[in-house]
Amino acid sequence: MNLKSIFVYPKYPENLQRLYELAYNLWSVWDYEAVDLFYRIDARLFREVNHNPLHLLLSLGKEKLDALSKDKGLLFELDKVWQKFQRYREYSGSYKEECMKDCGIGPEDKIAYFSMEFGLHECIPIYAGGLGILAGDYLKGVSDFDLPVIGVGLLYKYGYFTQYIDPTGLQQEVYNEFENHLIPAKELQDPDGNWAHITVRIMDEEVKVKLWRIDIGKSELILLDTDIDDNPPHLRNITDELYASDRDKRIQQELILGIGGIEALKLLGIKTKIYHFNEGHSAFAVIARLHDLMRNQQFSFSEAKALIRASTVFTTHTPVIAGNENIDVKLVKKYLEPWIKEIGIDFEEIGAAHLSRSRRRFLSP
């Protein structure tokens, strides 16, 4: 017998609609008045669910919801927080105008920010450490400044491991599965109401990738997820763990992030003007752009390189060899050569150019 879990969204009183809308935006976890509002509902439960407003609301029974809908004090505080949230969303400072002027950003253009991890909140364990906290704070910061940035990352089934000390004093790790529907992430849908997805080719197999969105104030983060029934187990588990130890699985993750991230932006109709890569984990996005510019838009290799160079920003978290990931060239060739061949370029030419740049970066005095 095959059993399948189905998530059913609960019904709630109409006058609590704004409460749920707040819970689906991470602004509510960094604004103190919003946090106090959720503490007021059930402080003990709020702590138990790692201060996750959505999980808190989805854990409440009908009687509790009915009582909240009649609590005049809570409704008064809800209205205050809601009005504050509206003022936040409507604010636009001078930074946006300066960005549009200096960077040539149009009203509908976006800056895509790729990262392997995003440290947004404790209830969304898709981060490991400093790199993720940097990425999460970046999205919160651009929201404050109302800058046209959209994040692109992966939605992991288990996230990063949790460490603990066992009775013998040794460090142990445990992977805890978390439910996507209990975090403030929404399944993106196509015009027909089906969940939005892209397809990424890895070697000779097609991987179906589901798209999710998390709202972070005025910013948004698009997350890619391979854990769906349509994929066989060895492809479905690509997004199981952050920084998988298996080298093949790791490069598959980076292919989903880089190549899949570019495809996701195209599917969603996002007009990306600048591509910002946080560390080298999303480097395959460059190959996806090269592939698109040469094969679909008929640019030459030199023209495509010039366009990519002019519209790409790269930041590194730890600018030393020991702090950066190294992947064997043979492994990269195994996965990347089919993409390179389709645009009539020899893999060795790409590899030699990359190696030359790496040597200049790390060996120059």
Regarding whether 109 and 32 lie in a shared domain, the answer is no
Regarding whether 98 and 20 lie in a shared domain, the answer is no
Task: State pLDDT tens for residues 115-153.
Answer: 999 999 999 999 988 899 999 999 999 999 999 999 999
Q: What is the DSSP string of 126-142?
A: ---SHHHHHHHHHHHHH
Regarding whether 114 and 77 lie in a shared domain, the answer is no
Regarding whether 85 and 104 lie in a shared domain, the answer is no
Long-range CB contact pairs, 245-249, < 8 A, 24+: 247/327, 247/328, 247/331, 248/331
322 against 285, higher pLDDT: 285
What residue numbers bound the domain in which 55 lies? 14-90
Regarding whether 67 and 115 lie in a shared domain, the answer is no
Q: End of a domain among 67, 90, 113?
A: 90
Q: What's the pLDDT score for residue 44?
A: 97
Q: Is residue 3 in a domain?
A: no
Regarding whether 186 and 103 lie in a shared domain, the answer is yes
Regarding whether 188 and 337 lie in a shared domain, the answer is yes
Mean pLDDT computed over 4-22: 83
Regarding whether 99 and 34 lie in a shared domain, the answer is no
Q: Is residue 6 in a domain?
A: no
Residue 312, token pair as written in the block:
């790409």
What distance lies between CA 32 and its chain's CA centroid?
Answer: 24
Regarding whether 128 and 56 lie in a shared domain, the answer is no
Regarding whether 133 and 38 lie in a shared domain, the answer is no
Mean pLDDT computed over 83-110: 84
Regarding whether 223 and 83 lie in a shared domain, the answer is no
Mean pLDDT computed over 55-79: 96
Residue 362: which pLDDT band, with cuts at 50, 70 and 90?
Answer: very low
Interatomic CA distance for residues 190 and 275, integer angstroms: 24
Residue 358: which pLDDT band, with cuts at 50, 70 and 90?
Answer: very low
Q: What's the pLDDT score for residue 2?
A: 61
Task: State pLDDT tens for residues 169-208.
Answer: 888 888 778 888 899 999 999 878 889 999 999 998 999 9
Residue 360: which pLDDT band, with cuts at 50, 70 and 90?
Answer: very low
Indicate the range of 60-74, 119-133, 200-214, 337-351 predicted with least confidence: 337-351
Strands 162-165 and 271-278: unpaired
- The domain tally of the chain equals 2
Q: Is residue 317 in a domain?
A: yes
Q: Is residue 125 in a domain?
A: yes
Regarding whether 332 and 284 lie in a shared domain, the answer is yes
Task: State pLDDT tens for residues 290-337.
Answer: 999 999 999 998 899 999 999 999 988 777 776 677 788 888 889 988
User: What CATH number has the domain bearing residue 246?
Assistant: 3.40.50.2000
Q: What's the pLDDT score for residue 130?
A: 87
Mean pLDDT computed over 30-34: 96
Q: End of a domain among 55, 90, 125?
A: 90
Q: Is residue 1 in a domain?
A: no
Q: Is residue 22 in a domain?
A: yes
Q: What's the pLDDT score for residue 196?
A: 94
Q: Residue 38: what residue type?
A: F
Say yes or no to pLDDT of 209 above 60. Answer: yes
Q: End of a domain among 48, 74, 90?
A: 90
